[in-house]
Chain A
Amino acid sequence: MDDEKILGARKPRVDGAAKVSGKFTFPTDTVLPGMLVGKILRSPHPHATVRDIDPSAARAMEGVFAVVTAEDFPMRVYGQDIPDETILATHKVRYIGDEVAAVAAIDEETADRALEAIKVDYEVLPALLDPIDALRAAKSEQPVLVHQNRPDNIAQEYHIDRGNVVVGFQEADYISEATYKTPRVHQAYMEANVAVAHATPDGRLTIWPSTQWPSRSREDIAEVLGMDVSRIRIIQAGVGGGFGGKFCPKVAMVTALLALKCGRPIRILNTLSDDFEAARPFVATEIRAKTGVRKDGTISARQLWTIVDNGPYSASGAGCLSVASSRGNNLYRMQNVKSDGLLVYTNLVPTGAYRGYGNQALAFALESEMDSIAKAMGWDPAEFRKKIATRTGDVTVDGWKIGSSGLVECIDWVVEASDFHNRRPTHGPIRYGKGMACGTHVSGNIVSYKHWDGSGAIIKVDRDGRVHLFTSEPDIGQGAFTALAQIAAEGVGVRYEDVDVHDNDTDITPFGVGATGSHITTVGGNAVKIAAEKARHEILAWAGRMLKLAPENLDVHGGRIYMKAQPTAALLSVPEVASDYFVNNYIPLFANGSYRTPGAVDKATKYGSPSPAYSFASHVAEVSVDMETGKVRVLNYWAAHDVGRVVNEMAVEGQVEGGVAQGIGFALTEEMLFANGKVTNSDFLDYKCAVSTDMPRIHTHFVEPIDPLGPYGAKGIGELAFVPVAAAIANAVADATGIRFTQLPITPFRLLEAVRKSRTR
């Protein structure tokens, strides 16, 4: 029977069969006839003046179709939020890897030889390899500046001041303060960054990139190339993971330059080391957090000082700065908050976002603080959090309007399921501990892209009744298409299996902000729901015409149309109605939907509600720590999430499990290492992501407050799954060892160092 439920069901992915049979076309599988190989010449210096580039020898080589430098195109300055970048370096290079020139050649070897033949005359400048040094260098007698027009080496400042922290700290019975550090880490998506581009004689430029925001890519690329948006077409199949690391359009832009120059299809495919050294890993952060509490268990004041190492170009830096300077303040009730953050230019690899946009770094600081406070005050860490947890109906300190919060229920579940208050006894050198951390995140963020904070959707009901969904929210592996197909099926009144989701193609699909800010299910989903419900309305209207019945008395479910009074007697099917509609109108039945997040955030004070809905989570990690080897193992993991209405239980579990795996890496092993500005571990041997044998058993649970603004009550999950993990593990390590780690990752070396220090103390 087709009456089974669609929302909340464990529906298999829409692209599952293609993916398990090796037939799915990823961006790296896009091959065009006669496609050339594009390669990028990168700077070997972290900071240098480019005195001269001589590409003549490379241009003269057989098999070389184009060589481009900053001389060949007008170099417009662009940036995701802060304009500070050009496609190719103009007068200066600012990190090891900076794009200096690019070649298009017949094959790999020729391209490599062409790169070698380009002569670049550099004058090496002092390099700023640390944000504190960079701040100092700007003030020195002979200032060293990453960008000449940024006299402080500061890309952006962030300030908020709410209530009165001075009074708040005076009221405090206890004040906790510490500084926390997280390193540059890499999103380590499995599929490389890539772009294929083809400029055709009709003046059009088609690009097959790997991006988390196809709609925005078109806008950005058009702007930087000085082309009309309609001349550019972005086509994108599913992407092999992004996690915040595939916003930067650099590879697509360089490929576009080559395509325009040589008029042949061309591809630039990053190697793994290109991705590590030049594809926007996550910012490094330093967060000083000061929290005052009253004896009654409430927070009297919170103050933050955040320094974010941006690298030379900003990409997602501004977003990371703002999230790392504020987000966690909305998890608990508090009135007095002050935050001052700096996004600092350095000559290390430029950065980007990573699953949470800085929320994970701030959670590491603040949730560690919560445990330190609980310990100092003799409070139970779970009860302390519960008492001040943000609840449904709250307006938080930053102005978030909380339509639904299941935070308390999440905490209750993890406490119970993990037997939080009991520990395994110490066993030889092995100590055991449990740690809790909570988190909250947006489901869409209206400050993401200019004034465009919404999403559009088009539904087409084909002549045979199949429902085609056109959305510009990309599936980067997270399951966006599956969730949106479920929402479409529910809205139209057909079976999930009757829905096809069209690949992103800016010639056809509408606008979508993209895979950012955990926005797709909620904001994209609302657009799909509106379009789908309009299609349902049209189907019933046409069915009424066919049946000579009032449409108000009809309904449709599972593709069957019936009288509301007699739901078991199907009168017509959706295919019958769709066919009749088509032959009478000569077009399929179309319906559009669009959704824009209500509300606003004040530019100056940053006060306001940026998202239609807010998700909450509480996690508990159980770890063992070997005091002799320094090895931390995560033994068990409990994660309770409030995602509003669960659209697909299997998919949200998968998001949580993947988030935990990335969190374990962030907590214990992942760290990009540098020597003189050069990444020294740009491979998967030395950059250690969690593998199957590192993983604990993960116990997931979902509480489902129906959110008033989410589609059918649904909220976002992607980023929040990752946000509390490192903090929960750090708290578990502190519980096991009595040592508070303020720097990630907690490697065996750092752990043994800390043990040694604590013993000599």
Chain B
Amino acid sequence: MLSITLNVNGISRKVDVEATTTLLDVLRDRLGLLGTKKRCEAGDCGACTVILDGRAVASCLILAVEADGRKVLTVESLSNASGELSPLQKAFIDKGAVQCGFCTPGMLMSAKALLDRNPHPTEDEIREAIAGNLCRCTGYAKIVEAIMEVSRRG
């Protein structure tokens, strides 16, 4: 067991992990942050996307020990303390970007990482930024629209 400290959504969390434990498993199974989803466990679907030190990453590919001392943002960080949704989350609802919602947390985190570094992306840049996030329900149209909407308003 190795003892690591993660800064998760602004709170410092100490956890004991095996060398092989993934960041995804720490988030879901140890910290109870079930918003981050697990599907392929191979970096191919984006369901587990979180933001690690400002970059969107597949948390199933990151070992927990690699994240030691680093800042992790999950979907749970997007609404504020009183539960008020962020403009990005609201746009996802208002534009119909959510269907089954299983890809949604990962999509939101990829979109947030994009908008944080590029507040006014082109449609192509948006499509590129979420190209690693599979969505089987929406055909991506309304997801792209929602992100465009935030960029327009922001």
Contact = CB atoms under 8 A, between A and B. Distances in A.
B58 to A, nearest CB: 12
Interface in B123-154: 126-128, 130-144
A272 B39 contact: yes
Contacts of A653: 96, 141-142
Given A238-B100, A477-B102, A651-B96, A683 B136 contact: no
A661 interface: yes
A689 B141 contact: no
Contacts of B40: 272, 683-684
B44 interface: yes
B27 to A, nearest CB: 10
A239 B94 CA distance: 21
Interface in B32-55: 33-42, 44-45, 47
A658 interface: yes
A685 B102 contact: no
Contacts of B37: 26, 28, 190-191, 240
Contacts of A658: 99, 136-139
Contact of A22 (B45, B75, B100, B140): B75
A684 B99 contact: no
Contacts of A272: 39-42
B59 interface: no
A692 B135 CA distance: 8
Interface string A24-48: 1110110100000000000000000
A189 B79 CA distance: 27
Interface size bracket, A side: 35 or more
B22 interface: no
Contacts of A239: 100
Interface string B86-109: 000110111110111111110010
A691 interface: yes
B39 A191 contact: yes
**Chief secondary structure at chain B's binding surface:** loop
A476 interface: yes
A1 B98 CA distance: 27
Contacts of A23: 35, 76
A191 B44 contact: no
A20 B39 contact: no
Contact of A192 (B39, B42, B96): B39
A757 to B, nearest CB: 33
Contact of B139 (A21, A192, A659): A659
Nearest to B138: A658
Contacts of A271: 41
Contacts of B90: 20
Given A658-B139, A660-B139, A692-B144, A17 B102 contact: no
A16 B136 CA distance: 17
B39 A19 contact: no
Contact of A243 (B85, B128, B136): B136
Given A22-B35, A192-B39, A478-B99, A691 B93 contact: no
A13 interface: yes
A62 B25 CA distance: 24
Given A654-B142, A684-B134, A692-B127, A20 B104 contact: yes
A243 B138 CA distance: 12
A121 B85 CA distance: 57
A691 B102 contact: no
Interface string A437-457: 000000000000000000000
B78 interface: yes
A194 to B, nearest CB: 11
Contacts of A657: 138-142
A695 interface: yes
A16 B76 contact: no
Contacts of B38: 28, 192
Interface string B53-80: 0000000000000000000001110110
A656 B138 CA distance: 8
A570 interface: no
Contact of A241 (B34, B100, B127): B100
Given A241-B137, A478-B137, A692-B133, 18 more contacts: A16-B93, A17-B89, A20-B89, A20-B108, A21-B75, A22-B105, A188-B136, A240-B101, A476-B100, A479-B99, A650-B142, A653-B96, A654-B137, A657-B142, A691-B133, A691-B134, A695-B140, A695-B141
18 contacts: A12-B96, A15-B101, A16-B92, A20-B104, A21-B76, A190-B39, A190-B45, A241-B137, A272-B40, A654-B142, A658-B136, A689-B134, A689-B136, A691-B132, A691-B140, A692-B133, A692-B144, A693-B131
Q: Which A-B residue pairs are the 6 nearest by beta carbons?
A: A22-B35, A477-B100, A19-B101, A240-B102, A657-B139, A661-B139
